[in-house]
Structure 1
Amino acid sequence: MRFDVWAPRATTVEIELPDGRRAMRAGQGGWWSLAAPEAGHGTPYSFVLDGDGPYPDPRSRRQPEGIFGPSMVYDHARYTWSDHDWTGRDLRGSVIYELHVGTFSPEGTFAGAIERLDHLVELGVDLVEVMPVAPVPGGRNWGYDGVDLYAVNETYGGPDGFKSFVDACHGSGLGVVLDVVYNHLGPSGNFLHPFGPYLTGTQGSFWGEAVNLDGPQSDEVRRYFIENALQWLRDYHVDGLRLDAVHALHDRRATHLLAELSAEVDALACALGRPLSLIAESDLNDPRMVTPLEAGGLGMTAQWNDDLHHALHYAVSGESHGYYADFARLSALSKALTSAFVHDGGYSAFRGRAHGGSARGVPGHRFVCCLQNHDQVGNRPRGDRLPLTALKLGAGLLLTSPFTPMLFMGEEWGARSPFLFFSDHVEPSLRESEGARRAREFEGFGYVWDAPDPSSQEAFLRSKLDWNELKNEDHWSLLAWYRDLIALRKALPELSDPRLDRVSVETGPLDRWLVLWRGSLCVIVNFCPDSVTLSIPAGTVLLTSDDRVRAGQSGLLVPGQTVVIYRPVI
């Protein structure tokens, strides 16, 4: 076994093995190495730099005792995969399902999530997006406080547990997207500073120090993150990565980290013979994010599009506080459905400036859109979800839109359990200040911040899905609606067509109703509680959320708060 570690600032580096410490040999570029033939899979180890430590390996593949314990040698080759026939899952035409491992099942583990995969198969989704799995402080966390980025949270089941989950997903025909965080590291257990200039020492975002992507000695820092991404795709057989908050990546190099990563992932996809996707979370509304490398873009497969979420949320909830104020007309939803970005260079009142650029010519599948996600639910003080009627209306538009739809766990049956922000920091100062920090983060969003203590176990337990809700007729009815919408989307090519120039929208007076045209199909959504009659050519109702839809002499009668998918005879 050969141990290698990058520590350019150290004058001595020692490795601590079960039989004692040994001096490592300095090599080129700040790398240190040591051959230890007796060490192998399962051997604990840590590093001592200039007498300080011991510290876990920055590239630790396993942390069996948590973020403050020693690393452990983990041999990827020892796991026996059963997905040899898996050829991958293309993002185009897919429906994504986002979940948090700790709250998706009662067990809160990869094994518990595997037991629920049949539900996802029957729902009809194609890709499971897993919130971050890197080790975190304590026993509960959203995952964005991760450190030891090459390892897997032992609470969920460790590296073998995650491989079993991916293997089971592939066996069920489901691809896996992993959420990774490269714009910051968690405030607890981050031992990168002693090893080298991984961080700049300046505040990069609200969440922590900026990562050193363009300063002195940043070549190795960039490789640290790129090789991490390749590990998940290659060694864990993951089909794609969702890159958290890429707008917080501070990189002034001629070749941006994302472009470099895209090129590396393209090369790996060629070697593996299956598609690999990179999905960026970006609030920049910059079409270059999803423009291919050969056309001068950053080469992301897709990006999250919050504009459609905000416009949909206003339409089904009526909320217009904070950033929703920019979307408080159905005209915003109309623009989002036909142009992807509402803010495409115009003025944003919430930001107090012009924002974004035009996405003209970008296919819709490059925009991952949702009605709910972990942020939009969990960043509300009480973690409250949309009511069932709002979900019914919103899903009717989301799942017939030209974009790549994403559902948030439990949405499909209208789960009533909240998704609260929760953490479990070990240091008393971090535990006690977490609630106040969250309140500061969302100043100006229009909320009365009365959130429960995020460090309490109760916040975590209340966020677990209650699968018994499926025994309730209202919840089961909504699930059937989601299943039918997804099945129809897959059956009718018009609904998955990503060409935005073939989408048109009509809106009614006083923002009461909206008609979305997808080729020869029309999707009618009546947002108001009263019935409306629309003059539409005679045709066939393909799917409706209300059986009282009627075709009369004066037109199609659509009851209040109803979605109709209709094919006129023209």
Structure 2
Amino acid sequence: MHSRVRKTWGADLTSGDDAHFRLWAPDERAVRLILNGAPHAMRALDGGWFEVSGRARAGDRYWFELSDGTRVADPASRAQAEGASGPSVLVDHSAYEWKAASWRGRPWEEAIISELHVGCFTPEGTFRAAARRLPHLAEAGITAIEIMPVAEFPGSRGWGYDGVLPYAPHHVYGTPDDLKALIDAAHGLDMMILLDVVYNHFGPEGNSLPRYASRFFNGDRPTPWGASIAFEEPAVRRFFIENALYWLRDFRFDGLRLDATDQIRDTSEPHFLAVLAREVRETFVDRSVHLVIEDATRRRKLVRRNGDGSIAHFTAGWNDDFHHGLHVVATSEARGFYRPFAKRPWQAMREAMTEGFAASETTEKPARLIGRKARCHRRRG
């Protein structure tokens, strides 16, 4: 059975032979849906939204055609059979039959995490191939896998941090069902599986949003990777909050790791990160779902606990301070990220283990590392 809940962004199958399509394009006066080669006028709604419903099935391919004739992929596309520059593909997320359907997760204190890049983990570089190798990790005592970003990006290989279609698993790695099979296999081995998501920027190539939704970005607040995302816009907030819920609900990931949350800039109240965490907590009350942040500004409030010990917002933080100190001890490298830790690496590690963060007098202030992180991301992308 197809879900009848209409989401804010993207295309959804509403019955066996019908689908609903929505696009936020406030810069456009008209938008057409091109479904299996046939044009369909979309109805303009208040706030810059366009929508249309029609006969469609899973596997059908579609574009959005702008008023100048440019065809663009759905920014909330669930699959791209031909890559980021090709048409979007309708996906039926209810069709997959879960083998580990009773899985409800594991508590965070049981997490022994192995970070995994799908393209590098096996010679094949696919979701299915990775699933076949999971028993080796389970035998080694790994209880959780963190998959590096899989959002669709231009080309065939990359680190994943320059994704442009955040809802679509990268087509070279496999189909959405292939990714579900990997998650299913992990759960069958009593292993959690987390996904690394990038909500702070889009990649420099293949992102069409600026053509028809310039308000999605704020050029006055640049990040190291380009214009920042305008989280004050309600449509933009929904794009990313629904993305988090999508990965956790339709794919049954056990959690998300949010990349570089210090570059998620939001002047509205409550902050986007607080809203995202709250909706996740309220939506998945019957499962152990974990949210992890990477935050160079070391905001303790993001990982604070309530008076009863329950999680207020995020489950845990990525401990860069401990990693960098340990790296200096193990390799003596003192460049880039590691230079601030070269003088007192053992002290930085001790403080990171006892306090969660190294003291500012032990290392440089995080803001001074942003330029180096930008170069790192460009290499990874």
**Normalising to structure 2: TM-score of the pair?**
0.87
Q: Counterpart of 1:527?
A: none
Distance 1:244 1:175 in 2: 19
Kindly provide the amino acid, as one letter, of the partner of residue 312 in structure 1: L
Whether 1:335 and 2:351 are equivalent positions in the alignment is yes
Q: Counterpart of 1:324?
A: 338
Shift of residue 85, structure 1, vs aligned partner:
1.7
Shift of residue 229, structure 1, vs aligned partner:
0.5
Kindly provide the amino acid, as one letter, of the partner of residue 130 in structure 1: I
Q: Counterpart of 1:283?
A: 296
Whether 1:229 and 2:244 are equivalent positions in the alignment is yes
Shift of residue 40, structure 1, vs aligned partner:
1.2
Shift of residue 56, structure 1, vs aligned partner:
0.7
Q: Counterpart of 1:109?
A: 126
CA 1:352–1:78: 2 relative to 1, 3 Å: closer
The alignment partner of 2:99 has SS state of coil
CA 1:334–1:24: 2 relative to 1, 3 Å: closer
Whether 1:18 and 2:31 are equivalent positions in the alignment is no
Shift of residue 439, structure 1, vs aligned partner:
11
Distance 1:222 1:50 in 2: 25
Shift of residue 58, structure 1, vs aligned partner:
1.2
The alignment partner of 1:3 has SS state of strand
Residues 167-566 of structure 1: pairs in structure 2 closer than 5 A? 167-196=184-213, 197-202=215-220, 204-214=222-232, 218-270=233-285, 273-292=286-305, 299-327=313-341, 328-329=343-344, 330-343=346-359, 346-347=360-361, 350-351=364-365, 441=375
Distance 1:52 1:113 in 2: 41
Shift of residue 349, structure 1, vs aligned partner:
5.5
CA 1:51–1:351: 2 relative to 1, 3 Å: same
The alignment partner of 1:82 has SS state of coil
Shift of residue 115, structure 1, vs aligned partner:
1.4
Q: Counterpart of 2:86?
A: 69
Q: Counterpart of 2:53?
A: 35
Residues 31-180 of structure 1: pairs in structure 2 closer than 5 A? 31-37=49-55, 39-180=56-197
CA 1:92–1:182: 2 relative to 1, 3 Å: same
Question: Does the Cα contact within 8 Å between 1:56 and 1:71 map onto a contact in 2?
Answer: yes
Distance 2:126 2:161 in 1: 17
1:103-129 CA distance string (max 9 Å, x none): 010110011111111111011111100
- The alignment of Structure 1 onto Structure 2 pairs a total of residues equal to 356
Question: Does the Cα contact within 8 Å between 2:297 and 2:367 map onto a contact in 1?
Answer: no
1:10-68 CA distance string (max 9 Å, x none): 2111111225212111123322121212x110111111121331111111111111111
Segments of structure 2 that go 5 or more residues without pairing to the other structure are 1-18
Question: Does the Cα contact within 8 Å between 1:204 and 1:250 map onto a contact in 2?
Answer: no
CA 1:155–1:286: 2 relative to 1, 3 Å: same
The alignment partner of 1:347 has SS state of coil
Shift of residue 74, structure 1, vs aligned partner:
0.8
Instruction: Calculate the aligned-residue CA RMSD, in Å.
Output: 2.6
Distance 2:380 2:277 in 1: 36
Kindly provide the amino acid, as one letter, of the partner of residue 276 in structure 1: V
**Normalising to structure 1: TM-score of the pair?**
0.59
Q: Which runs of 4+ in 1 moved over 6 A?
A: 352-355, 437-440
Segments of structure 1 that go 5 or more residues without pairing to the other structure are 356-436, 443-452, 456-570
Distance 2:372 2:363 in 1: 23
Q: Counterpart of 2:23?
A: 5
Kindly provide the amino acid, as one letter, of the partner of residue 324 in structure 1: Y
Shift of residue 333, structure 1, vs aligned partner:
2.8
1:500-532 CA distance string (max 9 Å, x none): xxxxxxxxxxxxxxxxxxxxxxxxxxxxxxxxx
Distance 2:119 2:64 in 1: 31
Distance 1:454 1:248 in 2: 17
Shift of residue 325, structure 1, vs aligned partner:
4.4
1:256-315 CA distance string (max 9 Å, x none): 111000100001111xx11111100111122112024789x9711111111111222222
Identity %: 41
Question: Does the Cα contact within 8 Å between 2:348 and 2:363 map onto a contact in 1?
Answer: no
The alignment partner of 2:109 has SS state of coil
